[in-house]
Structure formats: structure tokens, C-alpha cells
Amino acid sequence: MSLADRVRHPDFLQRVMSADEAAALIPAGANVGMSGFTGAGYPKAVPMALARRIEALHAQGQPFKIGLWTGASTAPELDGALAKVGGIEMRMPYQSDPACRQRINAGQMQYMDIHLSHMAQFVWFGFLGKLDVAVVEVAGVLPDGRLIPSSSVGNNKTWLDQADKIILEVNDLQNPGLEGMHDIYYGTDRPPHRKPIPMTAPDERIGEPYLRCDLSKVIAVVHTSQSDRNSTFAAPDAVSEQIAGHIIEFMQQEVKLGRLPANLLPLQSGVGNIANAVLAGLNQGPFENLTAYTEVLQDGMLDMLRSGKLASASATALSLSPAALEDFTRNIDFYRQRIVLRPQEISNHPELVRRLGVIAMNAMIEADIYGNVNSTHIMGTSIMNGIGGSGDFARNGYLSFFMTPSVAKGGAISCIVPMASHVDHTEHDVQVIVTEQGLADLRGLSPTQRAELIIDKCAHPDFRPALRDYLERARHSGGGQHTPHLLPEALSWHQRFVETGTMRG
Amino acid sequence: MSLADRVRHPDFLQRVMSADEAAALIPAGANVGMSGFTGAGYPKAVPMALARRIEALHAQGQPFKIGLWTGASTAPELDGALAKVGGIEMRMPYQSDPACRQRINAGQMQYMDIHLSHMAQFVWFGFLGKLDVAVVEVAGVLPDGRLIPSSSVGNNKTWLDQADKIILEVNDLQNPGLEGMHDIYYGTDRPPHRKPIPMTAPDERIGEPYLRCDLSKVIAVVHTSQSDRNSTFAAPDAVSEQIAGHIIEFMQQEVKLGRLPANLLPLQSGVGNIANAVLAGLNQGPFENLTAYTEVLQDGMLDMLRSGKLASASATALSLSPAALEDFTRNIDFYRQRIVLRPQEISNHPELVRRLGVIAMNAMIEADIYGNVNSTHIMGTSIMNGIGGSGDFARNGYLSFFMTPSVAKGGAISCIVPMASHVDHTEHDVQVIVTEQGLADLRGLSPTQRAELIIDKCAHPDFRPALRDYLERARHSGGGQHTPHLLPEALSWHQRFVETGTMRG
């Protein structure tokens, strides 16, 4: 396919250059806003070229780093390549790359872990400094200069709007049928000029299908032909299926009690194997005519759209396995009628999440007996990925589930601990905790009532006696009994793991 | 004044009875929704009568407890009286009463600490069980049966709507001039039927000035004549004035940098002496034509309305000193044009707080070096008051300040600690930390960058070396360096205080 089929505006075609030439236009110290959300729609060539340039400069003893902002996680060709050469000074708002993680946890790279709904507006407000360059993958350029978005929207609207200079990657492996699937809302503003966001249903379109782009800022157009990360998820295992089973049983009960409509409320589902298992369970389950208002569409949601269980899905990105991508490509006309891809400030907007009454389902690393949830840190100090959108959905949703297997590392780690080693979701924001052992419905309970329930329902039987013992001794320790703790022991399970490789005593 | 002047509907007058008679209509085990928010507009007679009844029943060996839901804190005649006789099984969503606190921390009473914006909707959703009885203070009853709200609105709309039975207290010491000051929005609904809330300015009226009331549910009308709690605040001390000074200087800088409009954005201010000092500072300060969108109007805001610095104020409750109340009473026509009192699901609504771009200013108990904030717990275990609305405003506001003196208990406690002993506001939600020592602007910083700034700017000089030492050793401990911690030491400052009465080593 010739680039002119994708780039239908002559002035854009005049700015075509190689990735290396484009990367050379990014100055040291720049804040660069790149596209990309959960391994979809990220630029594939310029970051690699920039990494090569940085490596060469570093070899000559010249310092070169950028501030790297994205939608969310990207791929080895972006985060991995730039982290490996030490090219990132500060990373926001979410990452899940092994090389990034290693550098951050080695103290060689800064990372600020931000709610995904906050990122765009903090840039509009000027809170994070100037955005110098946008590097955005698109599926094409219209004759009038508007852009056909790629497989994710993320913060692209904001990057194109706020950056001084724009580099576009036109990826001819992105399906041209994506055109029309996006809904870019241009009604946002800064206070005091904000208006209500006019959406009352998860599938409602309130914007336009294209990204606006100021041609005078476009300094490079790079032609690529490379597929997204397209990670394969593991088939649901027994533990994930048990977690899914508890959630579906609970939802059935809520419907029966009149606390949820028969077709539930819009579903939000985090990424990963447990989430896919829940979706698989819902696809076999009793609910019909469901909707989704979420960040990421992964395989499970495509299955549900195809089966008809899911009537529509709103997200900001796709994150598909190769097999699912094949199906998506083949049936893109079907999916285009049922999927809306939005900017992440809309997909995760507190106003909309609360109005629509989203059911939030997110994985976690650990919860403590009082219902405080750690989504981000290993043993209190090392970042795993980031909070992502879990806070946007958990705080504002109608119902909020946090899910984890009860143990990790072959049973060495209890995911229910006396005190969370880092708190991302406080006791005020956590309604339901689920492990393969069972489900703890924390609504309306005090901390000690929650503790008893979480230990009984969610903790692994191997760890229950020690948790009960902790709670009992904390209650009789002479400290306050609202949230009883033994301060010298509260984090001792984590310390034991650090020292001995297991939390078991 | 005769009760008929206040109760202008004959059927309501027929249900007049004594507080003891009304209290006798509340069954054991009932969930009771009482009015009251920061010591304003709470029922004054029925709770005391109920406490007497409970005491008598307990003396006879008969169990009697209720679930007690309010707007926020109340007064000794309500929380205090019922807690002292052991009459409360479960308390929600906020309390600040010494007797309540003592019982909760002794493990004799349950308390669930809920975001104030969540309470009403959780009741609508049926998440907290059935509301049996509403006990609501009003300033009067209209001839058509609608109610003139009192000095707070809180959750009264929800209690009147959701309860099976209603007991009204008509307090003839509440100023009749309150009529017309309230704005009760009846456009809320449960998902999937929710619509945008049609408000775009903090002083906009979107509802009606009266509470609707189903006469068939009214089982008692009780006549009272008793003033609100009307606590006096201390005059701003040097520490509070220094905190206020840092905030005002920072705001001036933000205006200069174009990150805030010249008249700022709507102010939210927590209750207390520091908050009053900030308001006093703003009243002397350079900003004109300010607005407030907050929970509680305290003395400082009345001063600002009177001086003209504050053009309008929206809240859900008054909380005035006796002197301020006198001024308020004398000039109620002036204040009625400038004050709107709303239900707390509206005053604290995430949708509105984010849209309006509220500047949130809240006190805290402690922050850790990474910017996690504890607003609720003493030494990790004992509840102080509750999170109140601080989470509603901090998460969704344009800017969020958390304020505390750098030390407490005469210098024995550092309010900047290695690890917060309880987390109510996570690192993702805290933008600016202020003590009398200085202000730390955490926007765009990684955890270790935040740590250096918080120690340098906010910690008391006496504690800085130990905090720096902790950070340094944590960085070299072999753990992850994203959020360096020494797990065995992280809570040792709190433990030292518990054991020795001081955090000093």
C-alpha cells in the first residue's frame, strides 16, 4: 500500500521522512507525549530511532534524556527501547515494561504514578510543565488534514493540542476499518469554563471520529508497517475461574435483591488473566444485554460482543491477542457498530463513571485485613506497573471489586496481609474483595467487621490462623480498637518475605 | 412564638408530641437517619429523650441500640448522649464527638468512615440496609407541607425520602430568615437513569428552597427552642498564620504563571483553626471576587462575604461561633443573597467539584515523606474524626492542599513521618503539603523527589536529620528505590511515641 493511500493531504506528504530523521528533531530535555495505551497504537519507529540516537550520544559522553508521557503502557519498542538506553528522565502516567520497572526500582529513572483521568487535565493546567513534542501513531490523514486515530486514543487529543511540534507515524498495518470507531470529544475546557459532559449512556457518541491537527506544528510524518504488541493471555485457570464464579454469583444475588438491574450496569474490567476469566464467566452466565464502559477492550469483551451478551463497549484502547485481532480485523464492520474508542479523560472521567454507575473490577497485588488495597508496589518499595485507571473507576463506580488469588509465588506470599505495604485504594473506596477462596462484601462494615470477613472469606486457609492471631493480639494490645494494629509487626510479613523468601513463619 | 407560626399545616400540628413520646416510637435495632452537619441543624430533643429511654431500658437489662446515620458531626446532645448510654451499634458517616470516639476506640461501638458524597447514594442503592426512621430538624413547615430546612441540609433530603417514618423537630430558635437560602436538588437518580447535574457556577441554584415531605410518614412533630452547638474557634495563632501565608504566596505565584485565574477558583475549606487562618489571610490578601464551593461555612467565610472579598458561598451547613451567629442573624438578608445551602451529595459531588475546579484545602493528622496523607487515625489504630469530605474535594479538585503544623503535642510528634500509620489520601491524590515551615509542591514529582522536598520544606528542623537519615538508609537497603522504605523501621516513630510519649529518639 502506498503512503498516499493513507495520507490524503499533500502538505502532510511533503513532511515524510525516515524515523531517524524525525527522531533527530527531538531535543534533549524535551517532554514528549507519545501515543499508546496497553500496547496499542503506540509509535513503533521513532522511539526506536530515538533510542539509537541516545545510545550513540551517550557513547560520546553526551547526556540526553526526555520526559516521556503516554496514554498508559506501551511496548518494548517504546518504553523498553528508551529505558534500556537510559533515555527517560521522568515517566508518566503508567508503565508495565520490564526495562522501565528495573530502572525505576534501581533509582535510575523517575516515575510519577498518576490516575489516568488526571493526566490530560494536569497538562492543560500547566501542572507538569510544557509539552514539547507529540509523537502519535495514526491510521491515516484525511484530505482536510484531520487524523484517523489508531488502535488506541489515550491522551492523543491532548498531545496534539498541547505540543509545540508534532511527529506522526502513519502505520499501514492499522486496519483502515478503524475509521469511524472513535469518538473524540472536544467539549472539554479548563475551569471556570467547564460544562457538563453530555453523555447519559455508555454507547453514546458525543464527539467526532477524527483527531484535529494543526498542520503548522507537524514537523515529520513517518511511514510504518508494524503490528501492535498483541500479547496473548493465558487461558483462564482454576483460580481465575473461581474468582469469576464468586463475582457472578454475587451479581446474581444483587439483581435478586433489586440492587442491580437485570442487565447489570456498564462493566469496567482491568487487564489480565483474572479479568479475562470474569469476562469468560459472564459470557457463559445468566446476564443479557450487558454494556461496558472501560479503559481497555481485551479478548473477553470481543467474545461477549460476538455472542451478543454484550450489546456495546466503550473504551480508550484495544488490547488483543493475535487470534482476537484476526477476528477483529475480519469482522471490523460488526465491531464498529458496537465499539466506541474515546480519549482517556472521557473513558475514565469521574463525572461519567459515577453517572453511568460503572461496575469496577480491578486486580490488585494485596489487600490488608481492613480492606486497604495495594495495586502498585511489591513489598512496599518496588513499583510493579502503576495505579492506572483503577482509582478512577473504584472511587466513582456503583460497585467496586478488587480481585487477586489469595496467595502468590507458589504460596510463599499471602495476598491478604495484616497491613498493606502501600495503599492505593483506601478503606473508603473498597467495597468487595474477591479471591478464589471467596468474596467479602465490605459495604456498611466497620474495620474490625471487615477484618473478620476478609480473613474468613478471602485469605488462604494456610494464612488464616496467623491473620486471626494478629487481629486478636492487636485488639488486646492496648492500642485503639477502631483499626487494631501491632505497629512493630504490621509489616513483618513483608519483611519476612524479603529476608527468607516466604511470608510463612 | 407559638408553634403554629412555624408549622403552618394543620395535619402536622396534629402530630405534635413531646420528645419522650416521639423517642418511644423508635424501635430497637432501627437505622435512624438524623439531621446535623458540623454541629448545625441536628435534632436537639429526641436524641436526648431516646438516650434517656435507652438508659432506662439498659438498667432493666434490656438491650437497645440503633444504627445512627447523620450528615456529619453533630453535638453532645446527639452523638454524645447516645454514645454515653451505649445506644449506638453502628455510626456513619462522620463523627467528632469525644464520647463516640472513646467508645469506638474501646471497641464498644462500630463506625464506618465514608466519603460524605457517597453516603446518600449508598442508601439509595440499598447498600447500607433499610433506613427506618428519619429525625430531622427544620425551621418550619409550609402550608402545603413542604419543610423549611434548618442551618444544615446534609443528608436530610435522603432521610426524608428513604425512611419509613419521619420525626420532625421544629426549632423556633432557627432563624426564620433561613427560608430561601437552601437549594434542594431533586434531579438525582440511580443509574442507569442519571442525568448531568445542571450546574456550571458555584452560586447557581438548580433546585428548590424546600424539602419535600410525605405527610403520611410523619409520626411525630416535636417543638424545640435551642441553639446549635456554635463552637468558638481560637484566633489564628502564629503557626496557622504561617501556613496561611505559604498558601497565599503560592496562589499568587500560580496566578502569575497563568495557572489560576486572578479571582482563583471556588474555594473549599475544611473546618478548624488552620482553615480559619487561611480564610483570614485571604480576607487580607490580594484576591478579589472570590467564590466558595465547600461543605461548611465557618466564621472566616462570613468575614469574607461581609468584606466583599468573597462574592458568594455554597455549602451544606453553617458552623458559626456565637459572635458570628449574631452577625449572621442580624444581616441574614445580606447573607441570603450570597449563600446557598445544598444537600451534601451536591456540595461534595465529584462531578461538580471537578467541573467547577475547586481549590481544596484540608487539615491532616500526618503525611509521610512520599506524600501519603493520614486524616483520620492517631498512631495507626485510634480514629480521630473521619475522612469527611476531604477525599471528595482532594481527588476531584483543581488543586489540593493538605495542611498541618509540622509538630504536635508540644513537639513530641512529627507530623511528617517515614510512613503514614494510616492512609486516607494516597500519593496519587496529594498535590501540595503545607506546614508552618513551608510548602511542598508535589505536582509532577516522583516519590523520592517528593520525599526530598517534603523533608526540606515541611518537616520541623528537629526531625529533618532523622527523616533524611531514614530516606538515605532506605535508598541503600537493597529494597526497591521507587518508594524506598525500611520495613522494620517504617512505623517505628509511631511505636516509639506509643511506648515513650515522644517520637524523638
User: Are the beta carbons of B480 and A381 separated by less than 8 Å?
Assistant: yes
Identify whether residues B286 and B200 lie together within a single domain: no
Secondary structure (3-state) at B363: strand
Burial class (CB in 10 A: 0-12, 13-18, 19+), A449: middle
**Beta bridge partners of residue A152, listed in sequence order:** A317
Give the pairing of strands B31-34 and B133-141.
parallel
Residue range(s) defining the domain that contains residue A58: 3-224
Identify whether residues B205 and B248 lie together within a single domain: no
* Dist CA B159 CA B141 (whole Å): 17
Contacts of A118 in chain B (CB under 8 A): 428
**Beta bridge partners of residue B49, listed in sequence order:** none
Greatest extent of chain A over all pairs of C-alpha atoms, in Å:
77
CB neighbourhood size of A469 (10 A): 12
> Is residue A491 one of the residues assigned to a domain?
yes
- A26 assigned ligand-binding residue: no
CA B211 and chain centroid, separation? 22
- B455 assigned ligand-binding residue: no
CATH at B68: 3.40.1080.10
User: Are the beta carbons of A107 and B350 separated by less than 8 Å?
Assistant: no
User: What's the pLDDT score for residue B456?
Assistant: 98
Total beta-carbon pairs less than 8 A apart between chain A and chain B? 252
Peptide bond into B192 cis (omega under 30): yes
Q: Show Cβ contacts of residue B65 under 8 Å, excluding neighbours closer than 6 positions.
A: B28, B29, B54, B86, B87, B88, B89
Give first-to-last CA distance, chain A, whole Å.
Answer: 63
Torsion of CA B189, B191, B193, B199, to 10 degrees: 60
B486 near A381, Cβ under 8 Å? Answer: no
User: What's the pLDDT score for residue A366?
Assistant: 98
The reply to whether B295 belongs to the active site is yes
User: Closest approach of chain A CAs to the CA of B291, in angstroms?
Assistant: 11
Q: Which three cell numbers stand for residue B55?
A: 438508659
Residue A381: which pLDDT band, with cuts at 50, 70 and 90? very high
Q: Which three cell numbers stand for residue A155?
A: 491522551
> Average pLDDT of B270-298?
93
CA B362 and chain centroid, separation? 10
A447 near B92, Cβ under 8 Å? Answer: no
Identify whether residues B14 and B111 lie together within a single domain: yes
User: Are the beta carbons of B112 and A354 separated by less than 8 Å?
Assistant: no
* Dist CA B390 CA B361 (whole Å): 8
Contacts of B83 in chain A (CB under 8 A): none
Measured between CA atoms, the residue of chain B closest to residue A266 is B192
H-only helix segments in A17-65: 19-23, 46-59
User: Are the beta carbons of B487 and A421 separated by less than 8 Å?
Assistant: yes
User: What's the pLDDT score for residue B230?
Assistant: 87
H-only helix segments in B62-145: 81-84, 98-105, 116-124
CA A233 and chain centroid, separation? 16
> Is residue B60 one of the residues assigned to a domain?
yes
Average pLDDT taken over every residue of chain B:
97
By C-alpha distance, which of B143, B158, B132, B172 is closest to B211? B158
User: Closest approach of chain A CAs to the CA of B84, in angstroms?
Assistant: 17
Identify whether residues A210 and A87 lie together within a single domain: yes
Which of A174, A202, A224 marks a domain boundary? Answer: A224
Contacts of A377 in chain B (CB under 8 A): 480, 482-483
Q: At A350, phi and psi to the nearest 5?
A: -50, -40
Query: How many domains is chain B partitioned into structurally?
Result: 2
* Residue among B192, B381, B444 minimizing CB distance to A480: B381
Q: Per-residue pLDDT for B505 more than 90? A: no
User: What's the pLDDT score for residue B335?
Assistant: 98
User: Are the beta carbons of B379 and A190 separated by less than 8 Å?
Assistant: no
User: What's the pLDDT score for residue A355?
Assistant: 98
Identify whether residues B47 and B183 lie together within a single domain: yes
Burial class (CB in 10 A: 0-12, 13-18, 19+), B110: buried
> Is residue A232 one of the residues assigned to a domain?
no
Identify whether residues B214 and B363 lie together within a single domain: no
Identify whether residues B77 and B154 lie together within a single domain: yes
> Is residue B231 one of the residues assigned to a domain?
no
User: What's the pLDDT score for residue B21?
Assistant: 98
Residue B347: which pLDDT band, with cuts at 50, 70 and 90? very high
Residue A505: which pLDDT band, with cuts at 50, 70 and 90? confident
Q: Show Cβ contacts of residue B383 under 8 Å, excluding neighbours closer than 6 positions.
A: A480, A482, A483, B101, B104, B105, B111, B113, B376, B377
Average pLDDT taken over every residue of chain A:
97
Identify whether residues B211 and B242 lie together within a single domain: no
User: What's the pLDDT score for residue A231?
Assistant: 84
> Is residue B230 one of the residues assigned to a domain?
no
Residue B458: which pLDDT band, with cuts at 50, 70 and 90? very high
Q: Show Cβ contacts of residue B14 under 8 Å, excluding neighbours closer than 6 positions.
A: none
Q: ipTM for the complex?
A: 0.98
Tell me the one-letter amino acid at A240: S
Peptide bond into B93 cis (omega under 30): yes
User: What's the pLDDT score for residue B1?
Assistant: 63
Contacts of B494 in chain A (CB under 8 A): 487
B183 near B342, Cβ under 8 Å? Answer: yes
> Average pLDDT of A195-217?
98
User: Closest approach of chain A CAs to the CA of B127, in angstroms?
Assistant: 6
Identify whether residues A216 and A247 lie together within a single domain: no
User: Are the beta carbons of A110 and B448 separated by less than 8 Å?
Assistant: yes
By C-alpha distance, which of A327, A307, A326, A328 is closest to A315? A328
Contacts of B449 in chain A (CB under 8 A): 110
The answer to whether the Cα torsion of A299, A305, A308, A309 is positive or negative is positive
Q: Per-residue pLDDT for B181 more than 90? A: yes
Buried b (16+ CB within 10 A) or exposed e, A119-140: bbbbbbbbbbeebbbbbbbbbb
> Is residue A463 one of the residues assigned to a domain?
yes
Q: Which three cell numbers stand for residue B207?
A: 433546585
**Beta bridge partners of residue B185, listed in sequence order:** none
* Residue among B128, B377, B482 minimizing CB distance to A483: B377
> Which residue has 456498564 as its cell numbers?
A266
> Is residue A254 one of the residues assigned to a domain?
yes
Identify whether residues B10 and B103 lie together within a single domain: yes
Q: Measured at the alpha carbon of residue B156, what is the angle toward residues B359 and B344, in degrees to the nearest 5?
A: 10
Where residue A359 falls (left for φ over 0; alpha for ψ -120 to 50; beta otherwise) is: beta
B211 near B145, Cβ under 8 Å? Answer: no
Q: What is the pLDDT of residues A17-30, one digit of tens each?
A: 999 999 999 999 99
Q: At B91, phi and psi to the nearest 5?
A: -115, 135
User: Are the beta carbons of B423 and A426 separated by less than 8 Å?
Assistant: yes
Q: Per-residue pLDDT for A1 more than 80? A: no
Q: Show Cβ contacts of residue B217 under 8 Å, excluding neighbours closer than 6 positions.
A: B163, B164, B165, B166
* Residue among B92, B112, B381 minimizing CB distance to A485: B381
Which of B178, B201, B224 marks a domain boundary? Answer: B224
Secondary structure (3-state) at B69: strand
User: Are the beta carbons of A200 and B190 separated by less than 8 Å?
Assistant: no
Identify whether residues B310 and B369 lie together within a single domain: yes
- B84 assigned ligand-binding residue: no
Give first-to-last CA distance, chain B, whole Å.
Answer: 63
Q: What is the pLDDT of residues B78-88, one digit of tens each?
A: 999 999 999 99
Give the pairing of strands B432-435 and B438-441.
antiparallel
The active-site residue, picked from B169, B295, B345, B366, is B295
Q: Per-residue pLDDT for B236 more than 90? A: no
User: Closest approach of chain A CAs to the CA of B161, in angstroms?
Assistant: 17
Model pTM score: 0.98
> Is residue B229 one of the residues assigned to a domain?
no
Helices A299-307/A322-330 angle, 10° precision: 40
User: Closest approach of chain B CAs to the CA of A111, in angstroms?
Assistant: 5
**Where is average pLDDT lowest: A151-160, B6-15, B229-238?**
B229-238
- B365 assigned ligand-binding residue: yes
Identify whether residues B293 and B433 lie together within a single domain: yes
A345 near A324, Cβ under 8 Å? Answer: no
